[in-house]
Structure 1
Amino acid sequence: MKYYLGGYYFMKLRSANFGSWIGAKICTCSTYINDSYFDAWSISWSSSGKSGLKEAKEEFNLTSLQIKEIQSWADHKFEEKKIGWICTFSDFATLSEYKSIFFNTAEDYHIFSINFPEIEKDELIEEFLIKEKEIGAIGLCDNLQRQIPEVTDGSEKVIGYDLIGIEQSGDFHSFHCHDLSSSLVEKFNVQINQYGLIDNNHSWESLVKYMNDEENGFEPVPWFFVKVKMVEEKKKASA
């Protein structure tokens, strides 16, 4: 099955404070569970980002000057479509540049890519494609329209699969937001691995159908199945 790049994410994992995974760290790119080093506060014109400035300064130990420098860089990259709304980097090189300039001493981070099966790629583009010129598409949609195949050169390690429910804003939920791991194990005989992710893609179509059935009580947003990879930076730098 072919997979296509949805985006790269620069994440700081938090210990879960709810549900059956309390105290554990889950390798999801959902900012409802973990923190992103690049978020709405990184964009100067983001009205929603202003409310998160204080928290970002405290979480990432940033000064007001550093925030302005990040926003200046991000605004430029946003125009180039090297970053997208929200939290997404279109390629590893852009993420690496961001990290080296603004978070070079950071140690508590992980870099992930999320990759969509071909059918899911087409479904997301159909769902989120914006036709009005004045409105921009979310980063995941922009990236998937480029039809970039997943990286297979050994620099990215597959760590499992996530089910993500995407808001119109581009933010997305994980199945963990509903504390669903035990239910999925019971209903679909899937295994949850040490990363907190689904171990394989054997039942992905049934899982997507289940998550998108509103009668099951999940967020009323489209849910997708994605392959999550952890970027191994040394290999990536030498590739």
Structure 2
Amino acid sequence: MNIRSGGYLLIERTKRAAYMDAQLIPESVQSASACICEQHPTLDVLWGTSKERKKAYRERLRLSEEAFFKLTEWVEIHQESGDLGYPQTFQTVELAKRLRNRFFSHIELDIIELGLPESYVADFLAEGDEGESLERYGVERLLRHGCGAPVGRLLGYEVLGYENGMFHSYLCNGLEQDFAKQFSFQLNRHGFISTFEEAERYCTYSNQEDVETESVLWLPWAIFEVDV
């Protein structure tokens, strides 16, 4: 099966949320959804007008005012060059490593690579915005221009729905309980769905109109770990 890379995310691993089923979901969770795992840099804060949110973000990152200013400059430079796609998708793993090592070395962050099976790329792009707005979102741009096959180590699959440059996860909707009732649902030791075939079945279920989820196209995304 051919998989096309959709870029890299710099994420904070998080503890299992109270609404997640403790019998099905591990205590430590990785996800491509920013609803679950915070992703860096958080551009809605860096580019926002709220001084309070910027201060809170800077303090949370434990950065000096000077370092925070340099982070903002760094992001602007690489956004303009296209190396960092909106909102926080890195085109290369080298760029993700450089940002992490320069500004976030004191925080434990994971670099994950997104991959979408070639058979789903056309459907994914058809769901995106038309015209120039496609260029705003890094994942869409990378998949459209074909930046090659993933280079990381496959951790498994995550059922994800894409909207306005960000992902919803099946975990956001408590679908692990539905999957367990409908199928033989069990995550692998990395906390992801083991096989593409399983992920496809879960996507088919999630895309049914009578299943209460966000009105997005749920697809089986491959999640890769990058050696650092």
- Corresponding letter in the other structure for 1:224: L
Instruction: Answer whether contact 1:128 1:137 (CA < 8 A) is retained.
Output: no
Which residue of 2 is the match for residue 58 of structure 1? 59
Report the CA distance shift for 1:51/1:66 in structure 2 as closer, same or farther (over 3 A).
same
Give the Cα separation in 1 of the matches to 2:58 and 2:74: 17
- Corresponding letter in the other structure for 1:7: G
Question: What is the RMSD of the two structures over their aligned residues, measured on CA atoms?
Answer: 2.3
Give the Cα separation in 2 of the matches to 1:111 and 1:128: 25
Report the CA distance shift for 1:71/1:4 in structure 2 as closer, same or farther (over 3 A).
same
Which residue of 1 is the match for residue 13 of structure 2? 13
Report the alpha carbon displacement of residue 50 of structure 1 after superposing the two structures with TM. Answer: 6.4
Report the alpha carbon displacement of residue 177 of structure 1 after superposing the two structures with TM. Answer: 0.8
Give the Cα separation in 2 of the matches to 1:132 and 1:50: 30
1:32 correspondence with 2:35: yes
1:177 correspondence with 2:172: yes
Report the alpha carbon displacement of residue 18 of structure 1 after superposing the two structures with TM. Answer: 2.0
SS, match of residue 93 in structure 1: helix
Report the CA distance shift for 1:42/1:100 in structure 2 as closer, same or farther (over 3 A).
farther
Residue-pair matches, total: 225
Instruction: Answer whether contact 1:128 1:138 (CA < 8 A) is retained.
Output: no
Report the alpha carbon displacement of residue 98 of structure 1 after superposing the two structures with TM. Answer: 1.0
Which residue of 2 is the match for residue 89 of structure 1? 90
Match of 2:161 among 152, 158, 165: 165
**TM-score computed with the length of structure 2 as normaliser:** 0.88
1:219 correspondence with 2:214: yes
Give the Cα separation in 1 of the matches to 2:52 and 2:139: 23
Report the CA distance shift for 1:59/1:193 in structure 2 as closer, same or farther (over 3 A).
farther
Gaps of 5+ in 2: none
Report the CA distance shift for 1:157/1:132 in structure 2 as closer, same or farther (over 3 A).
closer
Where in structure 1 do 4 or more consecutive aligned residues deviate above 4 Å? 49-52
Report the alpha carbon displacement of residue 207 of structure 1 after superposing the two structures with TM. Answer: 2.3
SS, match of residue 148 in structure 1: coil
Report the CA distance shift for 1:215/1:87 in structure 2 as closer, same or farther (over 3 A).
same
Give the Cα separation in 2 of the matches to 1:199 and 1:18: 24
- Corresponding letter in the other structure for 2:118: E
SS, match of residue 147 in structure 2: coil
Gaps of 5+ in 1: 234-239
Report the alpha carbon displacement of residue 137 of structure 1 after superposing the two structures with TM. Answer: 3.1
Which residue of 2 is the match for residue 145 of structure 1? 144
Give the Cα separation in 2 of the matches to 1:206 and 1:118: 17
Report the CA distance shift for 1:23/1:66 in structure 2 as closer, same or farther (over 3 A).
farther
Report the CA distance shift for 1:129/1:90 in structure 2 as closer, same or farther (over 3 A).
farther
Give the Cα separation in 2 of the matches to 1:137 and 1:216: 30
Instruction: Answer whether contact 1:15 1:25 (CA < 8 A) is retained.
Output: yes
Instruction: Answer whether contact 1:4 1:118 (CA < 8 A) is retained.
Output: yes
Report the CA distance shift for 1:186/1:114 in structure 2 as closer, same or farther (over 3 A).
same
SS, match of residue 203 in structure 1: helix
SS, match of residue 111 in structure 2: strand
Report the alpha carbon displacement of residue 43 of structure 1 after superposing the two structures with TM. Answer: 4.4
- Corresponding letter in the other structure for 2:88: C
Which residue of 2 is the match for residue 71 of structure 1? 72
